[in-house]
A and B are shown apart, each in its own frame.
Chain A
């Protein structure tokens, strides 16, 4: 028997409101990291080291808030750290023509180890920090239930979901976005038209790094804490969500929301003892399993960028 308690408790309006309210907060780091990786992959470069960049961004954001008590400064510092790592990823993969899978593992391990080392040396023990203040949207937050679910989040949640259409617009409607797509699909053709493939790919990696660094900071500051391996593989899920979303910002957001919803629901079911303790560990795997299953079906219909993972080497 899977359900020990009463499912009606889960479907009670209060519980449902609370569960859906958490979905956006849970999904935010996934959306940010996946959006950044979407830019990177659309340009033809994938970075399996997103998790490592997130960890360093998380530590940078956490440490800054710990010292300054300024959550916004924490986000800025995390973006700067992300930009630096994005540049490093770009130099290694774009200019150094590295095997992207291996270099990604390297960046992940680098971020994992360095964030752990810095945490141990500079902090030592998980010290709580100030979290993001919730921003209640005037009027909308007063709407019964709907206000609780959607309009009492922190500022970064709103900005993150606003970044989705902005990213889609950039990728589809601007010269820069079209160049990203061009160098990711057919770099030789783009090059022959005078587009600098390395420059565009480097810029895409900078965007990727900034988003990933911010994603880490949002995670740490929202939790109000940092510890070793805080992301616990979140960055890898973010990479999978890019495939899930068919390399489109809206698709990526949909995947992140699904993941957040399953995660939030499982937590609620466990908290209400509807899922018994003996099933607890299996239930914890549900978000990842659901993502994989959906990925199998959704990814079939999508086509990855033509030059994804292939370094551009100009001949002649």
Chain B
């Protein structure tokens, strides 16, 4: 190998090593035990469920439950992944250090990497592997039958693929979206609202549709424009879309996915109001964030874990709704909301819970 080729190959090798260091989470999952030592009994009240035939295996003896979680973005992304990590932390605290062991693999938005991590956890004897992302469904469909004694969960989705060891969970995010849309229509002074979706699927699509319907129902004159960036993770595209809206006159923005971290600073800088979903996003901007729809997966997680301990490994779908408090609206105390506008949102919430209003067009 001559000097030219050697230098090039050396550089490429160093580069590949750097990429490997930067993205190899599957190989080194972080394992943590719950911080509290008191073992609390698991609550089994699940939110709304769609029953599917559940297979019952032999009940397992009481032992520390090994739970693995795989997410497409960071543990503290202030959005989708964080909602699950926060919920698991609550359940882990209830169960105590002797009751649960948690392994985490965040930032696996590359499906192939996630597949390797899921197999790794299943092989290493984890009791339940939670693949938190709608892009992981095809992986579980393929992997779950190969590990019939391991429980798998994924979402947001409603399909267990008829597999007895797969749970599915979803968020009826159009409901909170509708309520926030009503509030947005009362807050906008320019009657111009921008909605930025990532990809037109799952809970992101539902949220966008619910918000749009809410804004239209709240104030018919409000102009509501929607755009999708085509990516769950591209904050730059999200920021560019937000800029396009604010420079076009929008004074209220909302969006879904972990990429909203790109849009919130734009709203903040432009003096626009921001509505969040999935997690409480007031941490991204105290000034701009009005409120957020927050996912609470705790009840679903509790039921999945207790079912696994009893020998049932899947076959059921959980759904978060406003009625079962799986979806909650967290208002930013630092943002002053007109009481009349807030009252309209509260009325809308009651109507959604009562089922007396349609939340999508």
By a beta-carbon cutoff of 8 Å, the part of chain A in contact with chain B is: 14-15, 18-19, 21-22, 25-26, 52, 92, 96-103, 105-117, 120, 124-129, 131, 219, 223-225, 227-228, 230-232, 263-264, 267-268, 270-273, 277, 280-281, 284, 311
Contact = CB atoms under 8 A, between A and B. Distances in A.
B225 A273 contact: yes
Contact of A14 (B74, B237, B249): B249
B13 interface: yes
A267 B245 CA distance: 9
A225 B4 contact: no
A103 B7 contact: yes
Interface in B44-92: 74-78
A271 B245 contact: yes
Contacts of B230: 280-281, 284
Given A18-B248, A126-B235, A270-B244, 4 more contacts: A22-B243, A109-B19, A125-B261, A126-B77
B233 A227 contact: yes
B261 A128 contact: yes
A228 B22 contact: yes
B334 interface: no
Contact of A124 (B75, B239, B240, B284): B75
B247 A21 contact: yes
Contacts, number: 188
Contacts of B284: 128
B228 A280 contact: yes
Contacts of A311: 4
A18 B270 CA distance: 13
B240 A267 contact: yes
B74 A110 contact: no
26 contacts: A18-B244, A22-B247, A92-B7, A96-B4, A98-B11, A99-B4, A100-B8, A102-B12, A103-B7, A103-B12, A105-B12, A106-B11, A109-B14, A112-B15, A112-B19, A116-B22, A131-B265, A223-B236, A224-B266, A225-B236, A225-B239, A232-B236, A267-B227, A271-B194, A277-B228, A280-B227
Nearest to A134: B269
A271 B261 contact: no
Interface of B: 3-5, 7-23, 74-78, 107, 194, 200, 225-228, 230, 233-237, 239-241, 243-245, 247-249, 258-259, 261-262, 264-266, 268-269, 284-285
Chain B CB within 10 Å, residue with most, of A25, A223, A311: A223
Q: Please list the 6 inter-chain residue pairs (A to B) with the smallest Cβ-Cβ separation, ordered nearest first.
A: A109-B15, A106-B11, A113-B18, A102-B8, A116-B22, A98-B7
B248 A106 contact: no
A232 B234 contact: yes
A109 B13 CA distance: 9
A284 B107 CA distance: 25
Nearest to B16: A109
Contacts of B18: 109-114, 117
B319 to A, nearest CB: 25
Contact of B21 (A117, A227, A272, A281): A117
A109 B12 CA distance: 7
Nearest to B194: A271
B226 A273 contact: yes
Q: Do most interface residues of chain A lie in helix, strand or loop, or is the interface mixed?
A: helix
A119 B134 CA distance: 25
B244 A131 contact: no
Contact of B261 (A112, A126, A263): A126
B236 A106 contact: no
Contacts of A21: 247
B74 A103 contact: no
B15 A225 contact: no
A96 B264 CA distance: 45
B5 A99 contact: yes
Nearest to B11: A106
Nearest to A132: B269
A112 B15 CA distance: 8
A108 B11 CA distance: 10
Given A113-B19, A128-B264, A225-B265, A106 B12 contact: yes
A105 B249 contact: no
A128 B12 contact: no
A207 to B, nearest CB: 20
B15 A128 contact: no
Contacts of A227: 233, 235-236, 259, 261-262
Chain A CB within 10 Å, residue with most, of B5, B7, B243: B7
B7 A99 contact: yes
B227 A270 contact: yes
A125 B73 CA distance: 9
Contacts of A102: 5, 8-9, 11-12
B8 A106 contact: yes
A232 B237 CA distance: 10
A128 B17 CA distance: 29
A117 B107 CA distance: 12
A116 B16 contact: no
B235 A225 contact: yes
A111 B247 CA distance: 33
A97 B3 contact: yes
A107 B285 contact: no
A15 B248 contact: yes
A28 B187 CA distance: 34
A101 B5 CA distance: 10
Contacts of A268: 244, 248
